[in-house]
Chain A
Amino acid sequence: QVQLRESGPGLVKPTETLSLTCTVSGDSGDYWSWIRQPPGKGLEWIGYVYNDGRTNSKPSLRSRVTISIDTSRKQVSLNLYSVTAGDTAIYYCAGASGNYAGFDSWGQGTLVTVSS
């Protein structure tokens, strides 16, 4: 059983950087993703990082996203640069075991509001 917990500021100013950390405990997975959900809307995949550091991200966000992993601390990080109000959402960390196995572990999510 994997437990995931997101942490970071709940309020970020426009043009600044959104930084979140996901702490992993319990059994491990193969790779980790950040997924967000604007209030009342659907899920949007942001990107992933494998335990070996390989990353990929949604093309429309790629220029603003960095995802990294610290395996020694069992933490996954998200940096989203130059945020706007459109980046306001619940941000989830999710884990998957296997390339096509789906996201079988999720954090509780953290609401990040972009506002001055």
Chain B
Amino acid sequence: SYELTQPPSVSVSPGQTARITCSGRQLGTKYTCWYQQKPGHSPVLVIYQDKRRPSGVPERFSGSNSGDTATLTITGTQAMDEADYFCQAWDDSRVFGGGTRLTVL
């Protein structure tokens, strides 16, 4: 079965750029999306089709996908961005990465 691997945690200082990776075999040939989940809340879609932002998602969120790695980039990270982030891709089914806890120090 297809698997996606994310780092358990990423730390960033306010105002800096955070990059969260998601790795999978030939992931660049599949569409990926990213979800943000804050404690006690349901996930929220922040990137779909590798790099598209749903309406209402701040421009500081961007995505890319090439080779075996997809990356979620948050430029000018704010304290409110502290959350868990999950990548998701399409195989025969839908697959989620294990999640990354983003800490804004």
Contact = CB atoms under 8 A, between A and B. Distances in A.
A102 B33 contact: yes
Given A60-B1, A92-B42, A45 B95 contact: yes
B43 A43 contact: yes
A45 B96 contact: yes
A44 B93 CA distance: 11
Nearest to B49: A100
Given A42-B86, A100-B31, A106 B97 contact: no
Most buried by B among A33, A100, A109: A100
B98 interface: yes
A25 to B, nearest CB: 16
Given A100-B90, A102-B33, A102-B88, A42 B45 contact: no
Interface of B: 1, 31, 33, 35, 42-45, 47-49, 54, 86, 88, 90, 92-99
21 contacts: A42-B98, A42-B99, A43-B86, A43-B96, A44-B96, A45-B88, A45-B95, A45-B96, A48-B94, A56-B93, A57-B93, A59-B92, A94-B43, A99-B90, A100-B48, A101-B48, A102-B47, A102-B54, A103-B35, A103-B43, A106-B44
